[in-house]
Amino acid sequence: MFKAGAGMIDITPVAGTHLAGAAYGEYRPAEMVLDPLYAKAVVIQSDQVSLCIVTLDVIIITEKYCEKIRSAVVDLYGFSHDAIMVHAIQTHSAPGVGGFMFDQDHPVGLTPETEFLNGGETAYSEFASDKAIQAVTLAMQNMRPASLGVGRSLADHLAFNRRLVTRKGSVVMPGLWSTASQPLGPADLLYYEGPTDPEVAVLCLRDDHMDMIAMLLHFTCHPVNVFSTVRSWNAVSSDWPGVWTKEVQNVFGPSCVPLVLNGCCGNLNPWDPFAPDFVADHRRMGKRLYQVTENIIKKMRFQATSELDFRSSQVALDYRQIPEQRQAEVDQIIGEHPQVWFDDPMRQKTDNRWFLAASTKSIEFCKIRMPSFLYEVQAFRIGQTVVVGWPGEPFVEAQLALKTMTPAQYTMVAHCTAQYVGYLPTADAYARGGHEANPDCTYWAKLAPGSLERVTTFTKDLIRTLYQQEQ
């Protein structure tokens, strides 16, 4: 028997909740709601295997709260721990679930009033993780016989590589620009450092009455349209995934739970760096993705499947070597200010040099706890589709490589699963620096060159074990 169920619960924060993902060490309180945030869950079962995928419309979820959700599902419903995947879609107009800007063992001296500096506040983190568990409970209550449909198409010019090589050979992350301020355009930029992934993949679960139970969209792009708009700086939004969700439910009804699996978007943004006067519009983007989704579903064929399986394993990754000069600078700053150092009387923004130094110092505490960084890779097989869970923000090159390496007919990668990691750039990207390969060796850029390539090869081999009996 092939069964499925899904549930979703509102996790929109209250006014004043810190919205993470903005300038380092700066309080950004929620002041308005453009789009609600949700915790969503889908459960898929055969006679032998039960799988659970949870998504949250937040920027990051840390290992502590992922484990809280996974442990609850194990205790309540008897799932295997490895068969539960928790994914943050990474909208930058939402709170974090758990603190992620400093290592958990770094004694930076945060209080309940200043814990926003760490990217996540305890009250919201507990609230959102509790709601995620409730979403799984709804999914279990909604279990019924199901059939499966999968399809894919392309949607170009929605995501763009955000690392641009300059004439000096370095990398910058371009913003929006106008012909009024730059009549000749950003002439110092030469080319995109890397590719994008224009694939739109959709997995649908339908009951015996042909009503949609759940729909999974796999697309790859940072949800930062709202974040990039000054007038929406303090607005809560699930960005393009939220608009896509609303469009799906407008057509298929509120009982259909639409989940987004955002792919390896560590180096992808939703605006064309060479287009003048570009307007970032999450509604336009979400509606375009729904139009592609609808076209895919029109040609979809549904069938039951007994092919459910899962794998989970860890690969040990090395840390970056911090240059001696940077280490000396960090030690001096932290020595003078061992705990949080504010440079404004309202205590709503830290000194930037201190914040970056504390971020670099966090790597030291992480290494004490884990001499090698243990990176969890998950792989779920659902029929001829494999859903991969990769922590952190891997570059899209790895996702593209994985799709050409595996025996799966469809490969969907969900980034920001299981634990906070930071970025995983390609080995070549480190020499050019940039935000994702910060030369200061910040906590979000702590892994050594070659880590992404190791994870890709490791995952390819893990997926192949799901197909051993067919080879």
| Cα–Cα nearest to 38, from 266, 241, 220 | 241
Query: Following DSSP, what letter does each residue of 100-138 receive, concatenated?
Result: -SS-TT------TTTGGGGTB-HHHHHHHHHHHHHHHHH
Summarize pLDDT for 101-113 with one digit per residue, the tens.
999 999 999 999 9
- The pLDDT value recorded for residue 24 is 77
Check pLDDT > 80 for residue 230.
no
Query: Following DSSP, what letter does each residue of 18-57 receive, concatenated?
Result: BP-SSSTTB--B--EESS--EEEEEEEE-SS-EEEEEEES
- The pLDDT value recorded for residue 1 is 84
| Cα–Cα nearest to 216, from 372, 24, 411, 347 | 411
Q: What is the largest CA-CA distance in the chain?
A: 67
Of the pLDDT bands very low, low, confident and very high (cuts 50, 70, 90), residue 210 is very high
Summarize pLDDT for 263-303 with one digit per residue, the tens.
999 999 999 999 999 999 999 999 999 999 999 999 999 99
Return the structure tokens found at 381: 């097989």
- Cα angle for residues 101, 107, 109 (degrees, 5° grid): 85
- Rounded to whole angstroms, what are the CA distances from 178 to 268, 273, 370? 21, 11, 47
User: Do 363 and 319 form a contact (C-beta atoms < 8 A)?
Assistant: yes
- The pLDDT value recorded for residue 390 is 98
Q: How far apart are CA 405 and CA 308, in angstroms?
A: 20
* Mean pLDDT to the nearest integer, 326-345: 92
- The pLDDT value recorded for residue 343 is 79
User: Do 264 and 395 form a contact (C-beta atoms < 8 A)?
Assistant: yes
Q: Which amino acid is at 376?
A: E
- The pLDDT value recorded for residue 23 is 66
**H or E stretch covering 13:** none
- The pLDDT value recorded for residue 400 is 98
Summarize pLDDT for 258-270 with one digit per residue, the tens.
999 999 999 999 9
User: Do 75 and 136 form a contact (C-beta atoms < 8 A)?
Assistant: no
Query: Could you write out the three-class secondary structure of 337-381?
Result: CCCCCECCCCCCEECHHHHHHHHHHHHHHHHHHCCCEEEEEEEEE
Q: How are beta strands 199-207 and 212-219 bridged, if at all?
A: antiparallel
* Mean pLDDT to the nearest integer, 424-432: 97
Summarize pLDDT for 45-69 with one digit per residue, the tens.
998 999 999 999 999 999 999 999 9
* Mean pLDDT to the nearest integer, 176-188: 92
- The pLDDT value recorded for residue 102 is 95
Mean of the per-residue pLDDT values of the chain: 96
Share of the chain above pLDDT 70, in %: 99
Return the structure tokens found at 401: 């490589």
Summarize pLDDT for 16-46 with one digit per residue, the tens.
999 998 867 899 999 999 999 999 999 999 9
Of the pLDDT bands very low, low, confident and very high (cuts 50, 70, 90), residue 471 is low
Of the pLDDT bands very low, low, confident and very high (cuts 50, 70, 90), residue 207 is very high
- The pLDDT value recorded for residue 374 is 98
Q: How many CB atoms lie within 10 A of CB 468?
A: 7
Chain-centroid distance, C-alpha 282: 17
Check pLDDT > 70 for residue 82.
yes
